[in-house]
Amino acid sequence: MKIAILGYGKEGQSSEKYFAKSGHDITIFQDFKVEELPASLNTDYDLILRSPSVPPRDGWSSMTQYFFDHCPCPIIGITGTKGKGTTCALVADILKALGSKVWLVGNIGTPSLDVLDQIKPTDIVVYELSSFQLWDLHKSPHIAVVLKVEPDHLNIHYDYNDYLSAKSRITSAQAKDDFCIYLQSNADSTKIANLSPAQKLPYPATKRSEELVAALNSLTIPGAHNRENAEAALLTVAAYFHQPLSTLLKNHPEKIHSALANFKSLPHRLELARTLNQVKYYDDNFSTTLSSTAVALDAFRDSNIILIAGGRDKTGNADLPKLAELFNMQTNLKNVILIGESGHTLYQDFYSPKFVLAESLKDAIDQARIKAEAIPNSIVLMSPAAASFDMFENIYDRGAQYQKLISEL
């Protein structure tokens, strides 16, 4: 079979490795614009696999689609603008605690084709699905989880409707015997859920039972949003076992409580990086939007916060007035150490006495330390509300550099 792989990032490399094992004729296309691809592409190749950031075209497929077509076991698919990785990991940990063999794949870091040949029909796959992976998916998972949905990646998607349309693929091909867990307080999450004929399980509960409250109280990671993520995860596991949530919680309280209590923040998501001189340093470098940084600030409402923020704004600076307003309204936010492109713009165009300009990440951390150690009950939080590409290779690089500098204090 002749296969074209469009893009050579982590998924492209995984696809090449997977198909090369069977001796297929593979051609890699990289560093291209879609309009520059050969007009005969669809006739020259038997299978065309696009990478996530390559917009779909008729006749093309993707690694995600190939996996869905060939996976021998049920798939739990989780999407949303934020919280996907944490919720996926929570679902996987709870299922493992209850004795299931779980494969955690997708946007969370493990390409699905890396493990496809190892999966057995009795296993369960938890798949973190980005809008790019869902863009042209013509199958939906047995259990679809739709977290909070709001505008993002509009530099890649044509517009917000295109982004929503991509997200909707997670439910649009479900059947009546499938399940859809969705955030009922979010209009777009609800809209996506309503496309599905599956059994619908909204969260958070209007009134949480004593058993659910007890389970959520076991969670050690901060933030009301993470309690919501954990509730979604518990509903997902209950759906997988075809049980009401109340039954699951009553039958397995110790295993569930232990799984939640031992759950650690994923890297760069409200991750406690270090405690020094009674100051806790948190790494929330995955927060690249105003709303995600607002959630992070809310998670520490009982602490005095020294925030490090700034980078490349994903809205063309349209959100900066709202961001400045958020910073000024948050009374327990004592200082904002600003870095990067949006940091300089905030300082120059929306100046506040809270704002301090730093010329490097090291400078920002040094200034944050001085201010935090001078105020009782303080934390240092890096939650940039911006992308990383102005100063760093990517989010992971930004988070790694932050943690390295913190460790050297």
pLDDT in tens, 25-39: 999 999 999 999 999
Q: Is the pLDDT of residue 280 over 90?
A: yes
Task: Name, in order, each residue with C-beta under 8 angstroms of 110's C-beta and a sequence gap of 6 or more.
Answer: 104
Predicted confidence at residue 260, as pLDDT, reads 98
Provide the percentage of residues in the chain whose pLDDT is more than 90: 96
More confidently predicted of 275 and 315: 275
Q: Is the pLDDT of residue 153 over 90?
A: no
**Lookup: tokens for 385:** 């509300």
Q: Is the pLDDT of residue 155 over 90?
A: no
The C-alpha atoms of residue 382 and residue 287 are separated, in whole angstroms, by 9
What are the domain boundaries of the chain? Answer: 2-59, 64-261, 271-407
For residues 200-221, give the mean pLDDT. 96
| DSSP-assigned beta bridge partners for residue 333 | 305
CATH annotation of 271-407: 3.90.190.20
CATH architecture label of 2-59? 3-Layer(aba) Sandwich (3.40)
C-alpha distances out from residue 26 to 40, 86, 180, 208, Å: 16, 35, 37, 53
Check whether the bond before 204 is cis (ω within 30° of 0). Answer: yes
pTM of the model: 0.91
Residue 97 zone, left/alpha/beta (φ > 0; ψ -120 to 50; rest): alpha
For residues 265-273, give the mean pLDDT. 94
**Lookup: tokens for 53:** 């950031």
The C-alpha atoms of residue 316 and residue 226 are separated, in whole angstroms, by 29
Q: Which of 193, 86, 207 is nearest to 145 (CA)?
A: 193
Please report where in the chains the tokens 């713009």 appear, as a residue: 345
8 Å CB contact between 110 and 142: no
Radius of gyration of the chain measured on its C-alpha atoms: 22
Task: Name, in order, each residue with C-beta under 8 angstroms of 279's C-beta and a sequence gap of 6 or more.
Answer: 369, 372, 373, 378, 379, 380
Indicate the pLDDT class of residue 296, thresholds 50, 70 and 90.
very high
- Strand 355-357 to strand 378-382: parallel, antiparallel, or no bridges (unpaired)? unpaired
Indicate the pLDDT class of residue 351, thresholds 50, 70 and 90.
very high
Predicted confidence at residue 40, as pLDDT, reads 96
As assigned by CATH, the class of the 64-261 domain is alpha beta
The C-alpha atoms of residue 134 and residue 178 are separated, in whole angstroms, by 18
Indicate the pLDDT class of residue 149, thresholds 50, 70 and 90.
very high
8 Å CB contact between 237 and 98: yes
8 Å CB contact between 60 and 14: no
| DSSP-assigned beta bridge partners for residue 50 | 6, 62
Predicted confidence at residue 109, as pLDDT, reads 79
For residues 300-316, give the mean pLDDT. 95
The C-alpha atoms of residue 333 and residue 378 are separated, in whole angstroms, by 10
- Strand 2-6 to strand 47-50: parallel, antiparallel, or no bridges (unpaired)? parallel
Residue 353: other Cβ atoms inside 10 A: 7
Q: What angle do CA 27, 31, 35 make, to 5 degrees?
A: 85
Q: Is the pLDDT of residue 91 over 90?
A: yes
For residues 375-403, give the mean pLDDT. 97
Phi, psi dihedral angles at 312 (to 5 degrees): -100, 115
C-alpha distances out from residue 279 to 56, 79, 284, 295, Å: 47, 34, 16, 20
Phi, psi dihedral angles at 11 (to 5 degrees): -70, -40
For residues 42-69, give the mean pLDDT. 96
Task: Name, in order, each residue with C-beta under 8 angstroms of 377's C-beta and a sequence gap of 6 or more.
Answer: 302, 303, 304
Indicate the pLDDT class of residue 3, thresholds 50, 70 and 90.
very high
Please report where in the chains the tokens 């992971």 appear, as a residue: 396
Q: Which of 370, 401, 398, 400 is nearest to 310 (CA)?
A: 398
Q: Is the pLDDT of residue 154 over 80?
A: no
8 Å CB contact between 136 and 55: no
Residue 110: other Cβ atoms inside 10 A: 16
Predicted confidence at residue 126, as pLDDT, reads 98
Q: What is the mean pLDDT of the chain?
A: 96
Give the chain's end-to-end CA distance (angstroms, integer).
Answer: 55
Q: What share of the chain is helix, strand, coil (3-state, %, to 5)?
A: 40, 20, 40
For residues 46-55, give the mean pLDDT. 95
**Lookup: tokens for 202:** 């909204």
The C-alpha atoms of residue 312 and residue 153 are separated, in whole angstroms, by 13
